[in-house]
Structure 1
Amino acid sequence: MAARKRYELRRRRSLQQSEGDGCIMSSSMVATTDERSIGLLRKRIKGDLLTEAQSSLDLPIERYLSDSSIDVLPDEIFMKIYSFLYEGDLLTCSAVSRRFYRLSNDLNLWKILYQGVFEYRIPLYHPEPRKFEFREIGRWRDVVNPWKESFRQLRQGVHVRLGFAHIYEGHSGRKILHFKNLNDAIEHCEQLPSEVEKLVFLHEGMYTSTQLVVDTPLQIIGAGSSRNFQDSVIVDSNNGTTITFVEGSEYAYLGFCTVRYIEPPLDPVRVGNTQHLCSALVVNAFASPLIEHCSFSSTCSGGATVCVKHEGANPYIRNCSICGSDNVGIYITDNATGTYEDCEIARNTLAGVWVKNKANPYFRRCHIHDGRDVGVFTFEYGMGYFEKCDIHSNRISGIEVKNQANPTVVRCDIHHGQTGGIYIHEKGRGQFIENRIFSNQFAGIWITSQSDPTVRKNEIFSGQQGGVYVFGEGRGLIEQNNIYQNNLAGIQIRTGSDPIVRLNKIHSGYHGGIYVHEKGRGLIEENEVYGNALAGIWVTTGSCPILRKNRIHSGKQVGVYFYDNGHGLLEENDIFNHLYSGVQIRTGSNPKITRNKIWGGQNGGVLVYNCGKGVLEDNEIFDNAMAGVWIKTESNPVLRRNKIYDGRDGGICIFNKGRGLLEDNEIYRNAQAGVLISTDSNPILRRNRIYKGRAAGIEITNGATATLEGNHLFQNEFGGLCLASDVRPIMRDNLIYDNHNAVDRTIAKGYCLFKISSCTSFPMHDFYRCISCNTTDRNAICVNCIKSCHKGHNVEFVRHDRFFCDCGAGSLDRQCTLQSETRDNDTVYDSATPTESETT
């Protein structure tokens, strides 16, 4: 109760008191004892006798004896006094009483002290060596006064602050060491016992050092009051490497400062001598410092700004900037490692990063850009792991891999390179996984000179040239990538290269999908190739790839195009829905095409022309708008055991001196002739089954011939075998049976042949011209129209051949008397020549 009464309100004293009345109080200063003692001692008031006015009050006399004169002073007076004290004095005052403890822990009081010593605008969290974090006031958990707590955590540090020695020296309440230069501060820290933290605060200013060598767990951190104070804490050297970490610096730290090497002017006396390559920072063998929030630069024309070398060198460098140097940004070599996170490496004269000689660093979320050379260069067995880096706008490629180097690049953006995205050469390797490679001036990825990388699950798009370019005996696994919207081929393979290309999507390109040329090879399987402006796959100039189990569809030209001695194996692919033919073979090309499905083309299924060859075995060719297979212009393929059916034109058309061996095929349910042979062609047909066609089984016309052996021709609408005038094929052991012979039945019934042909087919029979009606050989008239419509006219037999009746079609001046209605001839159908692809 006594303790509580001290804080109760007193009654106001009477204003009518004599001059001698009142409470005459004497006070003494409060003495302090250890806080762990039984309690705080106070001197009580020794007052005079109470006056008569006081005695008239109801409250007991003890209420007026409970407070000292210090207790009645307002807080503002103490805060004014405390503002002149230092941290040691405040700690002493905080042990006097609860009130003093509360007042001496005021946030603003400690903030002013803290910023006077350390300059930081936000308190710095430092719970353990090498851990420094600026934390806003509200983020300090279980801490009442973050400014005081940060002061406590940093109290053992020494300070280097030009022109401010008076802040740190000559104060009884402050025990903080201050040095005029960085070398003296480091020398002092090196003499401290091992259990004492070695911490140097380097304040804003420019410090010229002479080759600082750190071989202890020294921590150097910049300090300043500006928002980007690290730009104003500058350590530079023009006489050797600025800072070097060597063995013994396993727990060293460097942070929040700018480190530069400035090359001295050229000494005329030393011209011609060996150039000394100096760096801003070197991390040597068995050194593993933590370096963060620093900027490094160098004007040395050779070497590197940051050099990490030799086995055991393992720095942790994060949130640093290596920009604007006249040499390499970071050079890691000779089995060195290290972790490099969230760094910006930009605008350097040479490569942003060099990794060499079995070095194996880990780069994560780094921004490597606008270099005047390559972005990342790994060579001579260099390795490294690069994750989520943004690499762009470098003058050469974003990443270059050379001489057995073997990096891993994962989930990086590699774009806007002024040459290519990734360049792998001279037996380079590497794993490139889940990256976005786009908008590069040349190919997204180049693989050459016996290199063998793994390229998986990347997006490669919007290249000014191709997506992936493999040449010069390049190899590699190119798997599960999404390659699209490139200006040249999605994948190009040439000059003896032999990659594995599988499970990719190659689509929407402004050129072809896959282009194999100049003796290129490769295993190309299970890809989806679609929607490209030119051929889905081109094979040319002596190339011989294996194309297996691909889906090649919806192209704006050909599906697969073999030309100029293109060879290879096309096996078990699904080829459909192309604007031109599904497969084209020409000019000496000789692929093997087996077990494919070729269907749904808006042109033909397979077109072999201009001396093309090829072996087509066990394929399904169906539902194409034109002939399932075209053979023309002295081409000579082999077709064996194919099924050619449900075509919207003929099954196989052989024109213009076409040849070929057609053996053991099934040709059925096609809209026109199962096999049409014309214009001096001479194929061999052996053991084929040609049936259920909606026209004739085999038609031979226009000076062509053939060798027909052991074929079965049955259930065809117009007849089994139809031969034009003067056609005399070689025939042995053919079976022609059970055909519907609709042409002969129509003639026998006296109908016009146009009744069964309309404008969509060409039945074979005798056709005439009418001299009286002034018709020509181009106007064919069937025999029944001659007998009926042109009865009594001067007529002439032309030949026995394929035609539809122009009289029945209504294309002559005289109306046909055998047709019930007049047909217009605006949509007269003719067997159109398939579209041939351009090669450029």
Structure 2
Amino acid sequence: MTSPSQEEDDVEEWRVLYQETFGYRRPLFHPEHAVFQFQPDPKFPGHQRNNNRERREENDVDEEEDVEEWNPWKESYEQLSRGVHVMNSFEQFVGAADIQCFDHIDEALKFLDENPEGHHEKLIFLHEGTHNVNHTIRIASDVQIIGASSSEDIAASVILTGRHATILEIQEGARSPYLGWITVKYEVDTEHEAEMALIMEVDAPPPPEPNSSGAVADNDDDDDLEKVNEIESDQTTNCAMVVTGRGVEPIIESCHFQSGNADHHTVVVKDHAAPKIKNSKFIGGSGGGIIITHQAAGYYDTCEFAQNLRSGIRVQFQANPYFYKCAVHHQGEVGVFILDDGLGHFQNCDIFSNAKFGVELTSPNANPTITECEIHHGELGGICVHEEATGQFLKNRVHNNAFLAVWICGGANPILRQNEIFDGKHGGILVHRYGKGLIEDNEIYGNVLAGIFVETGAQPWIRNNHIHSGKQAGVYFYDNGSGILEGNEINGNTLTGVQIRTGANPRILKNRIWNNDNGVLIHEGGQGCLEENTVFDNTTTNVFIQTEATPTVRKNKIFGSRETGILITDGGKGTIEDNEIFDNGQAGVMILSEATPIIQLNRVHGNRSAGIEVSSKGECVVRENRVFRNRFGGIMIASGSNVADSSLNQVYDNLDRVSKAIDRGHCLFSVSGKEFYPMHNFYRCITCNSSDRNGICQSCIKVCHKGHTVMFLRCDRFYCDCGADHLERSCCLRQS
């Protein structure tokens, strides 16, 4: 058996030979085509002996048998030794004599193509340094090209660059080539660009002349190609790399791609190609990062797309790529741009700090799936879906965007499901300009303005979301917005849970709306149908209708507000029917200021003021309601109010605390305090010089102001200013 010292010497010799030949600091295993795996740096001799012991135990080999010790440096060298090498200077190479070397990658490719059955594997080691190319390197076979360097960042130290044409094109015939640990960089040929600009300026054909009708003929033959002096300019060329062709599925890992071309993308994948790209970077492009087009696909794993002046990722023309755990950030425009029938699947990606949107979908049939991604800190917003695009957005976190988290407009019809949408610096979701969409099972909270806006003809279906803790409204319908709001939990918003105005006409169905300032506010001509909702425990009013609003409020449970159950005022209208209205802090239903609703078929009970109050010239229909067990009374109608059909109600078992206090000669302040405005006859005392704004109850007129000149004003809501000691004389009844 080999002695420990001999073993260590042998290991060291193989390590030196391996590192001088390939440059790598660690053993690189190559067990099969297009598979390269760096191993941990071996710690000898202990690491090796432990490894050997494990191998013996696994294979049931006697310790004393003369078994050759496993040597990862030797193993790696032997697995890689059939490759050829490309380097700028042969002086840097100290490998074995039988290693084949070239000074240009074209020569290595030609050698391998001409020796398909030879000793060498189709494997090229591109050594450290900058390798300039003067024309496109076309890969049409399953060659493997890998950077070789002793640097910690191998790709940054092995650079393939050029300025006259696309650097690298992987095309049909290359079913599964490999590219790894290399920087591919396209640099703009400034002299060539200047020449082309001069040609276009000097030799450009004259503008077309108008025909007899005055119109200019359109002679464009191809939208994708532009001819200048008979030279076709393809908008998907002059880049770092092109992958093209049906069945072309290269494996690309740990590469960097850069381009100085402001008009094109750094990498182009097109025409059914489907690369597998992993741990690669597309950073600092003067144009876009990557474009995937014309039914191309591919798998993109843990890649970074950053600081490109246009979009980071562009998908179009039925392309359908899969992106997993990619970072897309700090683009000059959009992070991910899907258009023209583009598809795609994006999962667990981090999309952030892009100058416009994190994700933008535009045009009919743009239909990607975005799932489990972080989409945040966009300067215009997180997601924009418009021009009839669709798409699925599932289980994402969309947050801290400078404006809106999600825009849906122009007939777009996406699905937003199980997302967390929060901390937007403006609002959560805006659906406008005839946008649609299913917004379902999301949690929407903490946005500076509304959680969801719906306006200008939009018709979304908003279902089963939790919309809470917004700085203003939960859901805000306006300017003829409509749609369905169903089964949502809407609570804890600083202003209203749901607000409807200016012609908006949504259907509000089976929601729980609670613990907002106002539960539902309908005003300024707003409409809508509120049906089978539970509206409760809101700070001011559960349902507030005003200024020509005309909603239908039907079959709801409305209870527990700190003030009024339903307040209709300032010309508010609408139909309030078949609701259960109970346990509100003041009146169950209050009608003020020329409001003209229809109140019918409701059960109104247990409210801390009256059941139904009509005040201040209210003119309405109140019929077939059951009004019972309310504290101050059942139906109370102020002077000057016109209430139709009031006799058709069932009013019973109310506590009638106001009438009972007067009957017992008590000041009404004893039952109201300053919190309530009970309805009864109130007066003015001329002798005490009280004003029309100082209400004095009937009991105080009889006792405290006995013998004074008094004036009956009207029956209306007030609390007694005499009992509150707001007059010069103290209230006798309150003192007693």
**2:415 aligned with 1:477, yes or no?**
yes
Indicate if the aligned counterparts of 1:634 and 1:658 stay in contact, CA closer than 8 A: yes
Q: Which residue of 2 aligns with 1:317?
A: 252
Question: Which residue number corresponds to residue 333 of structure 1?
Answer: 270
Query: Are 2:621 and 1:684 equivalent residues in the alignment?
Result: yes
Amino acid at match of 1:355: I
Match of 1:390 among 302, 323, 327: 327
Per mean C-alpha deviation after superposition, the further-off stretch among 591-600 and 198-207 is 198-207
1:152 pairs with one of 78, 82, 96:
78
Instruction: Kindly state the Cα deviation for residue 165 of structure 1 after the two structures are TM-superposed.
Output: 7.0
1:438/1:275 CA distance change after superposition, 3 Å: farther
Tell me, what secondary structure is at the counterpart of 1:662? strand
Tell me by how many angstroms 1:687 deviates.
0.5
The CA distance in 2 between the partners of 1:761 and 1:226, in whole Å, is 80
Counterpart pick for 2:689 among 765, 770, 774: 774
Q: Is 2:438 aligned against 1:500?
A: yes
The aligned residue for residue 551 of structure 1 is 489
Cα distance in 1 for partners of 2:663, 2:81 equals 119
Other-structure match for 2:239: 304
The residue type equivalent to 1:604 in the other structure is T
**Segment of structure 1 superposing worse, 367-376 or 238-247:** 238-247
Q: 1:812 aligns with which of 727, 730, 733?
A: 727
Change (3 A) 1:495 1:246: closer
Letter matched to residue 251 of structure 2: Y
- Give yes or no for contact 1:764–1:802 (8 Å, CA) kept in 2: yes
Question: Residue 188 of structure 1: SS of its match in structure 2?
Answer: helix
Cα deviation digits, residues 182-230 of structure 1 (max 9, x gap): 4444443334352733244444455555554444444444444454565
The 1:211/1:454 distance shift into structure 2, 3 A limit, reads closer
CA 1:203/1:452 → structure 2, altered by over 3 Å: closer, same or farther? closer
Matches within 5 A, 1:50-449: 102=6, 106-135=10-39, 136-138=41-43, 142=52, 143-161=69-87, 164=90, 174-179=97-102, 181-192=104-115, 194=117, 196-198=119-121, 199-209=123-133, 211-228=136-153, 230-237=155-162, 240-250=165-175, 252-261=177-186, 265-266=191-192, 271=199, 272-273=228-229, 303-326=238-261, 327-427=264-364, 428-449=366-387
Contact 2:169 2:241 in 1 (8 A): no
Match of 2:652 in 1: 714
Deviation at 1:433, TM superposition (A): 0.8
The aligned residue for residue 206 of structure 2 is: none
2:528 matched residue in structure 1: 591
| Aligned position for 1:531 | 469
Pairwise CA distance, 1:303:
3.9
Q: Could you tell me which of 383, 395, 398 is aligned with 1:457? A: 395
In the alignment, which residue of structure 2 is the partner of 1:661? 598
Which of structures 1 and 2 has the bigger CA Rg?
Answer: 1
Q: Distance in 2 between matches of 1:596 and 1:532?
A: 20
Structure-1 separation of matches of 2:373 and 2:288: 20
CA apart distance, 1:337: 0.9
In 2, the alpha carbon distance for the partners of 1:208 and 1:767 equals 98
2:211 is matched with none
Alignment of structure 1 residues 505-584 onto 2, 5 Å? 505-579=443-517, 581-584=518-521
Q: More strand by proportion, 1 or 2?
A: 2
In structure 1, how many angstroms separate the alpha carbons of the residues matched to 2:635 and 2:676? 14
Whether the aligned pair in 2 keeps the contact of 1:506 and 1:530 (CA below 8 Å) is: yes
Contact 2:168 2:241 in 1 (8 A): no
| Contact 1:305–1:325 (CA under 8 A) maintained in structure 2 | no
Q: Tell me the equivalent position of 2:554.
A: 617
**Secondary structure in 2 matching 1:106:** helix
Query: Are the aligned partners of 2:165 and 2:238 in contact in 1 as well (CA < 8 Å)?
Result: no
Over 3 Å counting, the alpha-carbon distance change for 1:557 and 1:275 in structure 2 is: farther
* Counterpart-to-counterpart distance in 2, 1:125 and 1:410: 30
**Cα gap change, 1:328/1:663 in structure 2, threshold over 3 Å: closer, same or farther?**
same
Q: Give the secondary-structure state (helix, strand or coil) at the position aligned to 2:286.
A: coil
The code of the aligned residue for 1:337 comes to A
Moved more, 372-381 or 208-217: 208-217
SS at match of 1:109: helix
1:182–1:363: structure 2 CA closer, same or farther, 3 Å change rule? closer
Conserved in 2, the CA contact under 8 Å of 1:768 and 1:799? yes
Distance 1:764 1:222 in 2: 89
Paired residue for 1:649, among 586, 590, 597?
Answer: 586
Relative distance call for 1:314 and 1:540 in structure 2 (3 A) is same
% of aligned pairs identical? 28
Of the structure 1 ranges 195-204 and 645-654, higher mean CA displacement relative to structure 2 is found in 195-204
**3-state SS, counterpart of residue 598 of structure 1:** strand
Q: Is the 8 A contact 2:404 2:430 kept in 1?
A: yes
Tell me the number of residue pairs that the alignment of Structure 1 and Structure 2 aligns.
Answer: 677
| Residues 1:476 and 1:122: Cα distance change in structure 2 (over 3 Å) | closer
Offset, 1:614 = 0.8
Asked if 2 retains the 8 angstrom alpha-carbon contact of 1:310 and 1:336, the reply is: yes
Q: Residue 669 of structure 1 contacts residue 692 of structure 1 at CA under 8 Å; is this kept in 2?
A: yes
C-alpha distance after superposition, 1:293-326 (max 9, x if no partner)? xxxxxxx995432111121111111111012432
Q: Is the 8 A contact 1:165 1:178 kept in 2?
A: no
Using a 3 Å threshold, how does the CA distance of structure 1 residues 274 and 304 change in structure 2: closer, same or farther? Answer: farther
Give the 3-state SS of the residue equivalent to 2:404 in structure 1. coil
Matches of 2:462 and 2:503, distance apart in 1? 19
Residues 387-430 of structure 1 deviation map (CA, whole Å, 9 limit, x = unaligned): 11110110111111111111111111111010111111111111
Q: Which residue type is aligned with residue 775 of structure 1? A: S
- Aligned 8 A contact 1:105 1:148 in 2: no
Q: For 1:567, give the aligned amino acid.
A: N
